[in-house]
Amino acid sequence: MATTDQNKTKKVQVRRFKPEENPEKHYLNQEKGLWAWLTTVDHKKIGLMYLASIAFFFFIGGVLALLLRTELLTPAQTFIDADVYNQVFTLHGAIMIFFFLVPSVPAALGNFILPLQLGCKDVAFPRINLASFYIYVIGAIFTFISITTGAVDTGWTFYTPYSATTGTSVLMMTLGIFILGFSSILTGVNFITTIHKLRAPGLTWNKLPLNMWALYATSIIQVLATPVLAITVLLLAMERLLGIGIFDPNLGGDPVLYQHFFWFYSHPAVYIMIVPGFGIISEVISTFSRKIIFGYWAIALSSLAIAFIGFLVWGHHMFTAGQSSLANMVFSFLTFLVGIPTGIKIFNWLATMYKGSIDMKTPMLYAMIFLFLFTIGGFTGIMLGALAVDIHLHDTYYVVAHFHYVMMGGMVMAFLAGLHYWWPKMFGKMYNEFWAKVTAVVLFIGFNMTFLPQFVMGSQGMPRRYFNYIDQFQGFHQFSTIGSYIIGVAFLMMFAYMMHSLFKGKKAPANPWGSRALEWQVSSPAPLHNFDHTPVIIHGPYDYHQPMSEFQLGIATSHNGHHAGEPVTVEKSVTDKV
Amino acid sequence: MNRLSEYMLPPAKSVTAETTDALFTFINNTSLILLAGITVAIIYFSWKYRRRSDDDVTPVISHNNKLEITWSVIPLILVLIVFSWGFSGYMDLRTAPDDAYEVKVIAKSWLWEFHYENGYVSVNELHVPAERPVKLVMRSDDVLHSFYVPDYRVKMDVLPNRYTSLWFQTNEPGESIIHCTEYCGRNHSNMNATVFAHSQEDFETWLETAASADDDMDPVERGEMLITRNACDTCHSADGTRLVGPTFEGLWMSEREMEDGEIVTADENYIRESILDPNARITAGYDPVMPSYQGSLSDSQIDAIIEYLKTLQ
Amino acid sequence: MSGHHVSSAKFLWGIAIALFFLTFITVAVTWITIPEPWNVVVAVAIAAVKALIVVLFFMNLWWDEKFNTLLFIMGVVFFLLLIGITLLDTLYRVDPVPSF
Amino acid sequence: MAQTSAELEERLDHLQHHFVDSDQQFDSSKMGMWVFLVTEILTFGGLFAAYIVYRSWYPELYLEASTELNAFWGTVNTAVLIGSSLTVAMAIRSAQLNQIKGLIINLWITIGLAVTFMVIKYFEYAEKFEKGILPGRYYSYDGLEHEKANIFFSIYYMMTGLHGLHVIIGIGLMLWLVKKAKQKVFHSGYYTPVEITGLFWHLVDVIWIFLFPLLYLID
C-alpha cells in the first residue's frame, strides 16, 4: 500500500478464524428438499443448478457430435441422410455454444465462486440471479420445441437468406436464443455490480483474484455484446414472420449486414467463452506452483484488453463474404492485435511456474493441457487472420479444427481444470486422483486424434458442413472419428469417477490444495452464507510468501459497515482458538 | 519442416498460390518453433520444479518489465510481418489484370452455371484458357454460395443481390475441383464442379464447338448426357430413389398429385414447364427449391431430355 | 456516496422547459431548408444535447458516482464502434459489373 | 434525526442480508440498473445501425418516405414524453422527501402521459395501416416510388414498435409502483424501485429524442 493511501485506509481489529473441518451444517444440507432448491436465491445452489444443466447440454451436444463423426466415416451416406445431418450439426453448434460454452464458466462455476472470492454473502441481486437461471430454462424449452417441430438446418450462424427461406423451425430457435440472451445479460449485470459493490474490506482492485478480473472482463462483454445478438435474432424472427426485408436480399435487404450484426455479438462471444477460462488457469497455476503469480497486472489488464479489442475484429469471419477490402484490412490488422495480450498471458503463466513448487494434481494437469492445446488454437488463429491464407482456409475443416482447439482444447480444458479445482469446495468430497489423471490423458489423446487430422484436411481443401466428401479425405475422417470415440470414452470415465466421488468419495479438507485464495479459507462444502465472519483481506490472493494464518482473518467486531473494497490496515490482531 | 506444409497443402496450380503457400509455410514453421519452445518449457518446469516437500518455499518474482516488454514486442513484430504479407497477398488476389478473360458465374441451389461471352452456358464444368488471367463475375439465384478452388487458393462468396468476383491464372493446363463453401442447404456438399484449364488453342476450339457438339447425337443419349451435365441427377434419380426432387423413373405420362391437390399428367408441356418455371406447380410432398433452366437449355435440348425420360419406364 | 441527490422542483421545471425549447428548435430548423447532410447533423446534434440534459440532470449522472457515467459512455462508444466499423464495409464496397 | 429505535428497526425492513447497509444496497441497485441501461442502448443501437446503413445507401428513400410520417403528432408525442420525464423526476423527488401522496399523484400523471403517447401512436399506426403501409411483406402502398420503401417502413415499425413496447413496460412498472406506494413501502430511506424505474423511463425518453428527428423530421 502506498503511503499516500495510508490516511484513507480504515483501521480494523482482526481475528483469525480457521475454517471448520468437515462441518455438520453447510449450504448443501441446510434448506433441504426439491422446492428449496428450485426457489433458492443462494448463488452456490444456483451455480450447481447451472452446472447440472450445462452438463446435460454438454452430453446432448456431445452425442450429436458423435453422430456427426459416425456419419462421416464414409464419403457418402453412412446412416443418416443429408437433412438430418444438417440439423444435427446445427444443433451441435447451437447447443454447445449457447447452452454450454457461454454459461459454462460464468454462470455455473462463476456463480458458485464469485461471492466466495469477493468475500461477500451473495451476488448483488440474488433474485435476478435465480431469474436468469429460469430464463435459461425457458430458452432451452423453446429450443426443444424447435427440435420437435422440424429442427433447424441453417448452421448455428443462421445466415440469411437461407435462414429466412428454409422450411425448418428457425423461428422457435431464434426465440429460444433471444430469451437465452437475457439470462446471459442478467448474469453480467449481477457480476459487474457485485465486483464493484460487494468486495470484502481490504479487497482493493490490486488484490482482486485474477479469476475475478477475468469474470469482470467477461461480464462487460456479455453486457455490451448480447443486446446486439438479441436485436439481431429479433430482426431475423421478424424477417421470417413479417418479411421486413432488412437482411433478406429477395426483399431488397443485405445479407452481409446480417453477418455484421451477428458477428458483432458472436465474435466477442468467443471471448465470453474463453476469457473466464484464462481466469481459472491463473488461479490453478498459481495454486499448484505455490508461487506468486508472475505479472499480475499484465494478466489482469490483458483480459480487459482482449475484451475490448475482441469487439473490433468481428469482420474476420467475413473475409470472403463480400465486404469491402478496406474493412478486410482493418479487421485483419485488429485481429493480430488480439494475439498480443493472449501471448502475454501464456508467457506469464509459464513464468509463474518457473522456480515454483509444482504439484501436478488433476487441475494442474488440465491447465497444462490447456496451455498446449490453446497455444495451437492461438497459432492457427494467426494463420486464419492472415488475409491471403484465410481466403484459402475460410469455411474449411481448418477453421473447424481451429475453433475446436480454442473452444474445447482451451475453454473446456480450463472448465475441467476449474471443475476439478473447486469440486471439493462444491461438494466437500475428493475424487480419485489416479482415475482423474488417466481420464485427462485419454481425453488429451482423443482430442488430438480428432482434431489434428482436421487441420490437414482443411488445408487440403475439405469444406466444412459437408455431408458427402471426396474419397481422398476418408482416411483422415476415419481417424478423426476414432478420436471422437476416445473423447466419448474419456467423458464416460469422468462421469463415473465424479459420481463415485459424490456418493463414496473421501471427505475433503477445507483447503486441500494449500491455496491462499479466499474461497479456500472457509470450510468445504461452503457454509450457507459463505462467511460467518466478514473476512479482511490484507494480502493478495497469490502471496505465498506470507503465512497462511494471515489469510484466515475476519473482522473481530462483527457487522460494522464498510464500503466495497475499502483499503484497511490491521490495528490489532487476535488469534482465535477454534 | 517445409515438407509438412507441402503435405498439408494441395498442389498449387495458380500463379497466386505461391504467395499464399509461402505465407502458410512461414506461419506454420514459426508456430511450430514457438510451440516446441512452450511445450519444452511446460515439461521442463513441471519436472525440474516439481514439489519436493509440502514446506517448499518459492521465490517472490512478481514481475519483470524487461521480460514483459520482450514477449509483447517480439510477437507484435511477428504478427505485423504476417499482417503485411497477408494483406499484400490479398490485394493481389483482389485485383484482376485488365486483360483477364471473363466468365459469368451463376450459382443456384445446387449447381454452378458458367456463361461464356458467346452465349454458351455450361453447368458444373468451367472451361478456361490456361496460363492466362481469368476473371469470374458471380451472382447467386437464391441463397449464399461460395466459389472455392483449393488448387488455386481462391474463394469468394456468391450473393443474390450483388455481383462479386475473383480471378486466377493457372500455371498449366489441367483439371481441378470446385466446391461450394458457404452452407446452402440439403445438397450443399454435392454442389461441386470441375474447372478445366485448356491451352489457349484447345479452349478456343472447345468454345466454338461446345454449343453445337451434341446437336447430332441420338436424342435419348443426348438427353441422358444433358441430365448429367446440367446436374439434374443431383436431385432426381433415374432408379426410383427419392432424393430432393421426385425420381424420373416412371415419370412420363404418370398421373401426379400437386401440392394444391390438382392432378396433372406428366406430359410434354408439364415437363417443359417444370424445367423452365419449376416452382409453378410442385409435386405433393416436395419443396419448391428447383432453380429455373430458362436460358441455359435450348428447345432441342429440352426435347432430348423428354425423349430420354420416355425411356425410364 | 452522492447517490441520493435531491433536485429542487424549480430546477426540474427549468430542465423540462429547456427540453421543450430545444424540441421547438429542432422543428423550427426544418422550416429553413438546410442541405443534406447538414440537416441530419443539426438534427442529431440538437437531439444529443437534449439527451445529454436528460441523462445529466433527470437521471442525475451529474451528481452520481463516476463509474455509472463511465458505463453510459461505454454504451455510446460501443454503439459508435458497431456503426462506425460496419460503415467501413458498407460505404466502401466496389462491386464488379459483368461485361456481357 | 430524532427517531426511536423501533422506527429505525422498521425502516430497515427493505435491507437484504448480504448488504451491509441501505446505501450499499441503493448504490448497487442503481449501478445494476445503469449496466442494464447500457444493454438497452446497444439493443436500440442495432436498430439505429440498420437505420444509418440504409440511410447512407439510400438517402433519397428517407427523404421521400418520411413525408408519410406526421411531423405534427410526432412533435406532440415528443412533448408528451418530455413532460412525463419531468413528472417521473418529480415523483422521485416526492419519494426522497417522504411525500407519498405527491409520489402517487406524479406517478399517475406519468402513466396518463404514457397512455396519451400510446394512443397517439395507435392513431398514427392505424392511419398507415389503412393506406396499406404495413410492415414487411404485407406492405401494399403504391404512393411511394422508391423500390425499397418497404425497408424504410420496416425500420420505422421496428424502431417505434420496440420503443412502444418499452413504453408499455414502463406503464406496467409504474402501476406496480403506485400499488407499492399505496402500501407505504417507500420512504426517504428506501425508494430504490422508484429511482430505477425513473432511470428506465428517462432512457425511453432519450431514445425517443433521437427517433423523433431521425424519422419524422427529414426534409
Distances (CA, A) of C15 to A3, C20, D89: 44, 9, 11
Contacts from D168-172 at CB under 8 Å and sequence distance 24+? D168/D118, D169/D200, D170/D114, D170/D197, D170/D200, D170/D201, D170/D204, D171/D111, D171/D114, D171/D115, D171/D118
Task: Please give the CATH number for the structural domain made up of B219-310.
Answer: 1.10.760.10
CB contact under 8 Å between C93 and A228, yes or no, is no
* Mean pLDDT of successive 10-residue stretches along chain D, which has 219 residues: 46 77 87 95 95 92 88 93 95 92 95 96 93 86 85 93 96 95 90 94 95 88
CA pair distance A287, A422, nearest whole angstrom: 12
**Option in A198, A245, A529 nearest D154 (CB):** A245
Size of interface A-B (CB pairs under 8 A): 267
Size of interface A-D (CB pairs under 8 A): 129
**Selection from A122, A291, A127, A307 nearest residue A224 by Cα:** A307
CA pair distance D69, B284, nearest whole angstrom: 45
Q: Which residues of C touch A318 (CB under 8 A)?
A: 89
Q: Is residue D26 assigned to a domain?
A: no
pLDDT value for A571: 64
Q: Is residue D95 assigned to a domain?
A: yes
Whether chains C and B touch (3+ CB pairs under 8 A) is answered by yes
Q: At what angle do helices C9-29 and C38-53 cross, to 10 degrees?
A: 170
Q: Which residues of A touch B10 (CB under 8 A)?
A: 459-461
CA A96 to chain centroid: 12
Cell of D152: 424504410
Return the amino acid letter for A334.
L
Cell of B70: 520482450
Characterise B138 by phi-psi region: left (phi > 0), alpha (psi -120 to 50), beta (else): beta
Q: Which residue of chain C comes nearest to A264, CA vs CA?
A: C82
**Option in D30, D39, D52 nearest C68 (CB):** D30
Q: Which residue of chain D comes nearest to A250, CA vs CA?
A: D137
In tens digits, chain A (578 residues) has pLDDT values of 333 444 456 777 777 888 888 888 888 888 788 888 899 999 999 999 999 999 999 999 999 999 999 999 999 999 999 999 999 999 999 999 999 999 999 999 999 999 999 988 899 999 999 999 999 999 999 998 988 888 889 999 999 899 988 877 889 999 999 999 999 999 999 999 999 999 988 888 999 999 999 999 999 999 999 999 999 999 999 999 898 989 999 888 999 999 999 999 999 999 999 999 999 999 999 999 999 999 999 999 999 999 999 999 999 999 999 999 999 999 999 999 999 999 999 999 999 999 999 999 999 999 999 999 999 999 999 999 999 999 999 999 999 999 999 999 999 999 999 999 999 999 999 999 999 999 999 999 999 999 999 999 999 999 999 999 999 999 999 999 999 999 999 999 999 999 999 999 999 999 999 999 999 999 989 988 888 878 888 889 999 988 888 888 777 654 444 556 666 766 666 554 43
What ipTM, to 2 d.p.? Answer: 0.90
Q: For residues A305-333, b (16+ Cβ closer than 10 Å) or e, as one string?
A: bbbbbbbbbbbbbbbbbbbbbebbbbbbb
Q: How far is C5 from chain B (nearest CA, A)?
A: 43
Q: How far is C98 from chain D (nearest CA, A)?
A: 22
Instruction: Identify which has the larger pLDDT, B241 or A399.
Output: A399
Neighbours of A5 (CB within 10 A): 11
Instruction: Identify which has the larger pLDDT, A342 or B217.
Output: A342
CB contact under 8 Å between D136 and A257, yes or no, is no
Under 8 Å between Cβ of A154 and A162:
yes
Count of the separate structural domains present in chain D: 1
**Selection from B29, B153, B179 nearest residue A389 by Cα:** B153
pLDDT tens profile B69-100: 999 999 999 999 999 999 999 999 999 999 99
**Option in A257, A311, A324 nearest C88 (CB):** A324
Prediction pTM value: 0.91
Q: Is residue D3 assigned to a domain?
A: no
Q: Which residues of A touch D32 (CB under 8 A)?
A: 124-125, 128, 189-190, 192-193
Mutate to test the interface with A, among B78, B84, B144 (most CBs of A within 10 A): B144
CA pair distance D170, D203, nearest whole angstrom: 11
Report yes or no: C95 at the D interface, CB cutoff 8 Å: no
Sequence ranges of the domains in chain A: 8-575
CATH 3.40.50.300 fits B2-50+60-94, yes or no: no
Report yes or no: C39 at the D interface, CB cutoff 8 Å: yes
pLDDT value for B248: 87
How, if at all, do strands B145-149 and B174-180 pair?
antiparallel
Chains that touch D (3 or more CB pairs under 8 A): A, C
State which CATH number among 1.20.210.10, 1.10.640.10, 3.30.1550.10, 1.10.10.10 fits the domain covering A8-575. Answer: 1.20.210.10
Q: What does the longest C-alpha to C-alpha distance in chain B come to?
A: 93
User: In terms of C-beta density within 10 A (0-12 exposed, 13-18 middle, 19 or more buried), how is residue B157 classed?
Assistant: buried
Interface of C with B in 8-37 (CB under 8 A): none
Return the amino acid letter for A395.
D
CB contact under 8 Å between C97 and B137, yes or no, is yes
Q: Which residue of chain B comes nearest to A152, CA vs CA?
A: B185
pLDDT value for D1: 38
**Option in B83, B164, B192 nearest A332 (CB):** B83
Chains that touch B (3 or more CB pairs under 8 A): A, C
Helix, strand or coil, per DSSP, at residue A59: helix
**Option in B51, B63, B182 nearest A357 (CB):** B51
Distances (CA, A) of B278 to A78, B121, B270, B283: 31, 19, 10, 10
CB contact under 8 Å between A253 and D151, yes or no, is yes
Alpha helices, DSSP H only, in A3-42?
A: 34-38
Cell of A366: 488440465
Under 8 Å between Cβ of A142 and A179:
yes
Return the amino acid letter for A261.
F
How, if at all, do strands B164-168 and B101-108 pair?
unpaired
pLDDT value for A574: 58
Sequence ranges of the domains in chain B: 2-50+60-94, 101-210, 219-310
Q: How far is A503 from chain B (nearest CA, A)?
A: 29
Report yes or no: A221 at the C interface, CB cutoff 8 Å: no
CATH of the domain at D61: 1.20.120.80
Average pLDDT, chain D: 89
Q: How far is C41 from chain A (nearest CA, A)?
A: 24
CB contact under 8 Å between A315 and C90, yes or no, is no
Q: Is residue D31 assigned to a domain?
A: no
CATH 2.60.40.420 fits B101-210, yes or no: yes
What sign does the CA torsion over B286, B288, B290, B295 have? positive
Q: Which residue of chain D comes nearest to C18, CA vs CA?
A: D82
Distances (CA, A) of C74 to A224, B184, C71, D18, D37: 8, 38, 5, 29, 11
CA pair distance A501, A495, nearest whole angstrom: 10
B172 pLDDT above the threshold of 90: yes
Q: Which residues of C touch B135 (CB under 8 A)?
A: 96
